[in-house]
Chains A and B, each alone.
Chain A
Amino acid sequence: MEAYLLNLFILISIYSILGVTLNFIMGYAGIYSLAHAVFFGVGAYAGSFMAMHFNASIFVTLPVAMVAGGLLSLILALPALRVRGEYFVAASLGLQVLAVTIFSEWKGVTGGIGGLIGIPPLDIAGFEIFKPSQFIFVTVVALVIILFIINRLVHSSFGRSLRAIRDSESAAAAFGKNVPLIKTISVVISSALTAVAGVLYASYLSFINVESFMLDTSVLIMAMVIIGGTGTQAGPIVGAALLLILPSLISYLDFLPQTEIGSIQQIIYGLGMALLMIYRPGGIVGRKKHSETGKE
């Protein structure tokens, strides 16, 4: 039981990092990416590659993974952000599909469909972290640091620009915001931090394959953010916890077909997303629907 809970908490904190970083672009900049799992994957593969072939120190794996994630996101962001929101949804969906093909085919780095096995544990200045009871400490610290970075950004003029763009892109531009540049920077920051979650995930499981980085994962992360509450600090973490606990809750309910837990989980969060958008677009943590006085 303790091992089970520890594992759950580690996964929750890793997915919280994914949620928090997606929320940074989704909740504050209004950029809805269906490719978040790609950067998670790039971080995982890049970190594992370094750890397996060169050095497992986090001072090597993390920077390499972050640079890889950031650079790749630049390829996505530079063209797609020049135009409008719809383009990013389309381009990110395309990138997600393409990335799965590359993850499955580029055997030298990703191990192909079979994936990578025997990824070394995290090495922090000589200490190897392989016990879950130690690992949870690392993931929580990583989450806290990332929350701090994002919190600082959100409350700076850069954060105001992002929120302005989210609320009205045309008005933001009309007030001198270089919208494509600001969006690009935010996507690069988000993707680089997402790669951190990839490194943690790979070294925790010591095994990864493409299954963890497919469209379903991107959708799951998006659902976590939306259900928890976009544009809030706690929302993505609440969402991650909720959606990761959900499968175990479902398995307690005997009347549901146990073979379909995955589907039932997805139906619940799909429905949750739609209903929240109708009744409470701010998510669980977010504000209620605003009062009618503010209507034109």
Chain B
Amino acid sequence: MVASHTGTQDVLMEIRNVDKAFGGVKAVDDVSMDLRAGIITTLVGPNGAGKTTLFNVITGELAKDSGSIKWLGNPINRIKPYQAARAGILRTFQDLRLFSEMSVEDNILTAVENNSLPLPVGRAQRTARLERVEYALDRTGLSSKRKIRAKDLAYAERKFLSMARVMATEARLWLLDEPASGLDPNSYEKFLEILREEVKQGVTVCIIEHNLDIVIGISDRIAFLDRGKLLADDEPQKVLNDPALRAIYFGERT
């Protein structure tokens, strides 16, 4: 599963000419890009560039106006969010959307359970699930907080819980919406370490991020969105050194 970091990686997801408008405003405007296996693709761009909307469109949370998306070669144009999850595409939310009244461990456990019917589950499956929960708790350092309700956690812990829910699953593609925003330097170092480790183990990540240090630190590839349009999708150095993009990025605009 470990893909090489150079050359042409397998394309996991193929996004073609995707449009999504709200009223007259095009939030995603004719975006085409590939998400390649085993690397971290970073989505950057000013606020309102359409990054989160793109996530919403990919997972079927929002219906796109036009365009097509393929996942592992199969079209997933009318996929529903729960089907996307079961197909191995998971996301986090900018506003976290933890299961706030539930304990930390229940948050993670329910993330790995995807049976809908109220039927008993076999012992082996149950054990396997609990192991995944332990793994995620351990990796994110939340083991000691397992019984605490999600909404009673400190901010950084809640960010890590949001990550833990994804980590415990066996998803192949993670769509992370500003997972490191607002973290103190210690926490985001830990976050980056977790992320790199998971990618090494074969996970593919697409991440929305504003902090330039983090962008530089983790990106294998950078996609630049502005006002819904994909202005660049290339290797980090090329994107970061483009003067026009820098101008937009550093907000020399009203």
Contact = CB atoms under 8 A, between A and B. Distances in A.
Q: Do A and B bind each other?
A: yes
A294 B151 contact: yes
A182 B111 CA distance: 15
A296 B91 CA distance: 20
A164 B99 contact: yes
A94 to B, nearest CB: 26
A157 B113 contact: yes
B90 A174 contact: yes
A71 interface: no
Chain B interface helix/strand/loop/mixed: loop
Contacts of A294: 100, 151-153, 158
Interface stretch (B3-11, B79-87, B243-251): B79-87
Contacts of B118: 153, 156, 158, 185, 189
A132 B57 CA distance: 60
Contacts of B153: 294
Contacts of B109: 157, 160
Nearest to A175: B111
Given A158-B118, A174-B90, A176-B86, A290 B152 contact: yes
B101 A163 contact: yes
B254 interface: no
Chain A interface helix/strand/loop/mixed: helix
A171 B114 contact: no
Range class of the B interface residue count: 35 or more
A158 B117 contact: yes
B121 A157 contact: yes
Nearest to A286: B101
A62 interface: no
B116 interface: yes
A293 B150 CA distance: 11
B93 interface: yes
A293 B90 contact: no
B123 interface: no
Contacts of B102: 160, 163-164, 167
Given A174-B90, A185-B118, A290-B151, A168 B97 contact: yes
Given A156-B118, A161-B110, A182-B116, A171 B97 contact: yes
B110 A168 contact: no
Residue from B80, B96, B116, B117 with most neighbouring chain A CB atoms (10 Å): B116
B61 interface: yes
Interface in B81-136: 81-82, 84-86, 90-91, 93, 95-102, 106-107, 109-111, 113-118, 120-121
Given A163-B102, A164-B99, A175 B90 contact: yes
A284 B62 CA distance: 39
Interface in A164-193: 164, 166-168, 170-179, 181-182, 185, 189
Given A185-B118, A291-B152, A296-B155, A175 B61 contact: no
Contacts of B107: 164
A161 B116 contact: yes
Closest 3 CB pairs of A and B: A176-B114, A176-B85, A158-B118
Interface of A: 153, 156-158, 160-161, 163-164, 166-168, 170-179, 181-182, 185, 189, 231, 290-291, 293-294, 296
15 contacts: A156-B120, A157-B109, A157-B110, A158-B117, A164-B110, A167-B101, A173-B81, A173-B85, A174-B61, A174-B97, A176-B85, A177-B82, A290-B151, A294-B152, A294-B153
